[in-house]
Copies of this chain bind each other. A is one copy, B any other.
Amino acid sequence: MTETTTAAPPRAYNSFDAECPTRDLLDELSDKWVSLVLVALLDGPQRHSELRRRLNGVSQKMLTQTLRSLERDGTITRTVTAAVPVRVDYALTPLGASLTTVVHAVKVWAEANMDSVALARAEYDARS
């Protein structure tokens, strides 16, 4: 879409550059709650209360902030259904699904390598 709405040359983004907008985006995405919300939504659309249970230990405020920021980025949708009480569902967009693929890999890595990391930490602490 940008090809037709702007004459500017394609921008080469690089998060190593402090001024690049991807630096802030990388910072925002580098958050355990972002990872866990996205991965939870891999199972399909979910309500706020379901997400809150799934993300054991997250505060109401942190979950709301995380969801709003993901909605603003276009990675999740928020759908309000008229009911009593009002029902609100969150779901991945195609953009969010592509992000979740890469973010999920970090969670999988942490779970797969926790033992190696714990061993390395014990050895480091014994040396120090």
Contacts and interface: CB of A to CB of B under 8 A. Distances in A.
Interface residues of A, number: 56
Given A18-B56, A105-B105, A109-B98, A30 B26 contact: no
Contacts of A73: 117, 120-121
Interface string A39-68: 010000000000000111100000000000
Main SS of the interface on chain A?
Answer: helix
Nearest to A108: B102
B111 A13 contact: yes
A21 to B, nearest CB: 6
Contacts of A29: 106, 109-110
Interface centre among A11, A23, A123 (most CB of B within 10 A): A23
A4 to B, nearest CB: 13
A100 to B, nearest CB: 10
A84 interface: no
A15 interface: yes
A114 B18 CA distance: 15
